[in-house]
Amino acid sequence: MRSSDAIPELLRVSEMTNRHLKRREFLDRAAETLIIAFASIAIAIILLIFVYVGREAMPLLWENTDGASVASTITPPVAWQPVSVNPRYNVIPLILGTLKVTLIAMLIGTPLALAAALYTSEFAPARLREWIKPAIELLAGIPSVVMGFFALIVLATWLQTTFGLEFRLNALNAGIALALAVIPIIYTVSEDALTAVPSHYREASLALGASKIQTAVRVVFPAAMPGIGAAMILGFGRAIGETMIVLMASGNAAYMSLSPLVMTRTLSATIAAELGEVVFGGGHYRILFFLGSLLFVVTSVLNWIGDRYNRRMRRRLFGTE
Amino acid sequence: MTKALVSLFLTLSTLLLTGCPAPGEHQTITIKGSDTMVQLGQRWAELYMQKHPEVTIQVTAGGSGNGIAALIDGTTQICQASRPMKDTEKESLKTKRSLAAVETPVALDALAVYVNKDNAIKSLTMDQIAKIFLGETTDWKDVGGTPGNIVLYGRENSSGTYVYFKEHVLSNKDFPSKYQALPGTGAVVDAVSKDKGGIGYGGIGYATDIKTVPITKDAGSAPIDPTMANVLSGTYPISRQLFWYTAGPPEGPVKAFQDWVLGPEGQKVVSEKGFYPLKGE
């Protein structure tokens, strides 16, 4: 190659590289725009759902349709009788039922999920851990209608014959089935939190003479506390909004009682069971959307708090988010 | 990236284009409505499609109310309903599509009252049933059974069966707060079959592994079983007609299908599925 050819050749190559770089830059920017667009669509959809649900409930604030208004949701008598000559929309039994079932699910699910998370992150041999984690997470993949069916047919019979319960379908039955749905969420999030605790925490504790159990319970567990808090809040959010399981397993009677052994009715199951037949724009319809907005707000706030706890934990352990 | 997008676009557009029905003699009939009638509708559709391969029939459930709403919106051609259409619903069909609802009874159904197989009671009067489902009678010993609490099961208030039972048996009074609303008659039957104190109601076609209670109209008369003869003669107190609704008189393939359903073959399916044909056998 003669030296006089070298310069145009170099220019040609640089021109090519330049074009290549520009092309890449363009592609990068296009991809970024696309991702932002998709993300905004997702956010817009959530906002629109909220606006729509809220809008259908809104008129309750200033008008009274067929005896339905915001005030009617708490005025006595304490009864949920929406399809009646004289409809009553008191939601207190439904809120009580929702809290009752959710609480039972949390009381059963949390200790199991946390113990499993602590075991897999601190004690289980690596090979066993690779089996347990996906197995528990697989629980989350079981459709809730299958879980509800199991509770309706199998669990209810077992509970009734074993404990001689008066009512087959009750809050306890629904709560146990719901715990199965909540366990994978609490487990996954808290297991991640426990594994994220840096190993020098453990090493320092063991070097000071603490046993493995002491290290796990007194050092690793407290360090991961915000993440575990987030796990519980996210689990609570899932339990409160879960529909199919409670619809099938709880007996769906808006009966006021604190006992876990009687049938009960939740907000989500009420919406699912009744929305199919309501008169569009009528009082019952608006009240159901009001209940929907209530659930939406509660679960959103819970998710938001859960997320904040998770961030706080990262800051505490690593100094960044 | 760009290549992937282009090929994705091409694939999607090909799918859309080929997805369009080819013009020709193939016909589709859509049926939607009552949960009680969905099995019946599906059986009718299966048999009819075997005889007429050029017709595709889609049957979906969702409740009588949902079926009527779909008819009003024009998303179904035939609506199956276990209750008559309300005047307000007929009105909105008229205003929305300026068509009149055409009602055709296609079968008879009797609502049976179910109790557990081991329940000792021999029969109940209409009045006793009403009192039980209103929560006024709470122990089996008050209606001649072995002592024990009565546990109430039934359908949700979005079901045509619920509305019918409430209107015709409870004289439109409200169920008590202990009344358990289950998703589907199958769930009611299952609950009653496993619950010694349970009582429920639903279509007679579902009654397996449980006892259906003979019903007395009033104190003096004899108890009546939910049998074909009693339903047809009108002596069984809780029976109803099952309807098909179309927007305007049925035409073309829908008309042909409806005629077949009302004919001997269609009505034979009715009794196979545990309902009662319009004219007996």
pLDDT tens figures, B150-204: 999 999 887 778 888 988 899 889 999 999 999 888 889 999 999 889 999 988 7
Confidence band (pLDDT; 50, 70, 90) for A226? Answer: confident
Mean pLDDT of A130-140: 89
Rg (CA), chain B: 22
Residue B261 near residue B52, CB atoms below 8 Å: no
CATH no. of B109-239:
3.40.190.10
Q: Tell me: pLDDT of B113 over 90.
A: yes
Q: Is the pTM of this model over 0.90?
A: no
Predicted pLDDT at A78: 84
Per CB-CB distance under 8 Å, the chain B contacts of A79 are 177
Across the interface, of A153, A254, A273, the residue whose CB is closest to B190 is A153
Shortest Cα distance, chain A CAs vs residue B74, angstroms: 16
Q: Which residues, 6+ apart, have CB-to-CB distance to B124 below 8 Å?
A: B113, B132, B143, B213, B214, B215, B216
Comparing A173 with A63, the larger pLDDT belongs to: A173
Q: Label residues B153-179 b or e (16+ Cβ within 10 Å = b).
A: bbbbbbbbbbbbbbebbeeebbbbbbb
pLDDT band at B79 (very low <50, low <70, confident <90, very high): very high
| Dihedral angle of Cα A290, A294, A297, A298, to the nearest 10 degrees | -170
> Would you call B145 an interface residue with chain A, using a CB distance cutoff of 8 Å?
no
Which of the two residues, B262 and A85, has the higher pLDDT score? Answer: B262
Cβ–Cβ contact A79 with B under 8 A:
yes
CATH superfamily to which B24-107+241-272 belongs: Periplasmic binding protein-like II (3.40.190.10)
Question: Distance, in angstroms, between B250 CA and closest chain A CA?
Answer: 25
Q: What is the DSSP letter of A89?
A: E
**Range name among A74-88, A306-320, B56-70, B135-149 with the lowest pLDDT average:** A306-320
Q: What are the pLDDT digits (tens) for B93-110?
A: 998 888 999 999 999 888
Contacts of B113 (CB under 8 A, 6+ apart): B124, B129, B199, B200, B201, B212, B213, B215, B238
Residue B220 C-alpha, separation from nearest chain A C-alpha, in angstroms: 31
pLDDT higher than threshold 70 for residue A2 = no
- Distances in Å between the alpha carbon of A37 and those of A27, A40, A169, B4, B90? 15, 5, 47, 18, 45
Note the pLDDT tens digit of each residue in A176-190.
999 999 999 999 999
Taking the alpha carbons at both ends of chain A, their separation in whole angstroms is 56
Q: Look at residue A276 and tell me whether its pLDDT is greater than 80.
A: no
pLDDT of residue A58: 87
Higher-confidence residue of B53 and B16: namely: B53
| pLDDT at B14 exceeding the cut of 60 | no
Residue ranges of A 242-271 with Cβ closer than 8 A to chain B: 247-248, 251-256, 263, 265
Q: Is the pLDDT of residue A277 over 70?
A: no
Where in the sequence of chain B do the CATH 3.40.190.10 domains occur? 24-107+241-272, 109-239
3-state SS assignment for residue A197? coil
Average pLDDT of A158-165?
90
CB spacing of B172 vs A85 below 8 angstroms: yes
Q: How confident is the model at residue A11 (pLDDT cuts 50, 70, 90)?
A: confident
* pLDDT value, residue A45: 92
Distance, in angstroms, between A84 CA and closest chain B CA?
6
* Residue B21: per-residue pLDDT: 43
Q: Say if residue A174's pLDDT is above 60.
A: yes
Local confidence band at A208 (pLDDT 50, 70, 90 cut-offs): very high
Angle, CA B163 vertex, CA B161 and CA B169 arms, to 5°: 90
pLDDT band at B23 (very low <50, low <70, confident <90, very high): very low
Percentage of chain A modeled with pLDDT above 70: 98
What confidence tier does A16 reach under pLDDT thresholds 50, 70, 90? confident
CA-CA distance, B230 to A93, in Å (whole number)?
42
B183 close contact with A: CB closer than 8 A: yes
Using CA atoms, how far apart are residues A251 and A249, in angstroms rounded to an integer?
Answer: 6
Name which of A263, A85, A75, A172 is nearest B177 in CA terms: A263
Q: What is the mean pLDDT of residues B111-127?
A: 91
**What value does the mean pLDDT of chain B take?**
85
User: How many beta-carbon pairs below 8 A join chains A and B?
Assistant: 80
Q: Has residue B111 got a pLDDT over 60?
A: yes
**Residue B22 has what pLDDT?**
44
Which pLDDT score, from 0 to 100, does residue B237 have? 87
pLDDT at position B272 is 81
B219 lies within 8 A of chain A by CB: no
Give per-residue pLDDT as tens, A99-114: 999 999 999 999 999 9
pLDDT at res. B198: 93
| pLDDT over 90 at A215, yes or no | yes
B224 backbone dihedrals φ, ψ, rounded to 5°: -120, 130
**Is pLDDT of A313 > 90?**
no
In DSSP notation, B103-146 reads EEEEEEEEEEEEE-TT-----EEHHHHHHHHTTS--BGGGGTS-
Least confident of A250-254, B207-211, B227-231, B249-253: B227-231
Beta strand B151-155 with B55-60 is: unpaired
pLDDT at B4: 57
* Interchain contact, B159 vs A277, CB within 8 Å: yes
**Percent share of chain B, pLDDT over 70:** 90
Contact across the interface for A256 and B177, Cβ inside 8 Å: yes
Question: Would the pLDDT of B10 be above 70?
Answer: no
A204, pLDDT greater than 90 = yes
More confident position, A198 or A276: A198
Q: Decide: residue A193, CB within 10 A, 0-12 exposed, 13-18 middle, 19+ buried.
A: buried
Look at B271 and B78; give whichever has higher pLDDT. B78
CA geometry: angle at A231 spanning A45 and A147, to 5°?
Answer: 75
B1, B182, B194: residue with CB nearest A31:
B1
Percent of chain B at pLDDT above 90? 40
> CA-CA distance, A102 to A175, in Å (whole number)?
7
Q: What is the pLDDT of residue B200?
A: 94
Which residues in B lie closer than 8 A to residue A253 (C-beta atoms)?
Answer: 177-181
pLDDT at A320: 60
Q: Is the dihedral of CA A20, A21, A27, A30 positive or negative?
A: negative
What's the mean pLDDT when you consider all of chain A? 88
Element (H, E) at A80: strand A80-81
Question: Closest partner residue to A251 among B66, B159, B180, by Cβ?
Answer: B180
Whether A157 contacts chain B with CB within 8 A: yes
* Chain A residues closer than 8 Å to B63 by CB: 276-277
pLDDT of residue B118 exceeding 70, the answer is yes
Contact in structure between B42 and B271 (CB atoms under 8 Å): no
Residue A258 DSSP SS3: coil
Confidence of residue B19 (pLDDT cuts 50, 70, 90): very low
Q: Which residues of A touch B159 (CB under 8 A)?
A: 277
Using a CB-CB cut-off of 8 Å, the residues of chain B touching A277 are 63, 65-66, 157-159
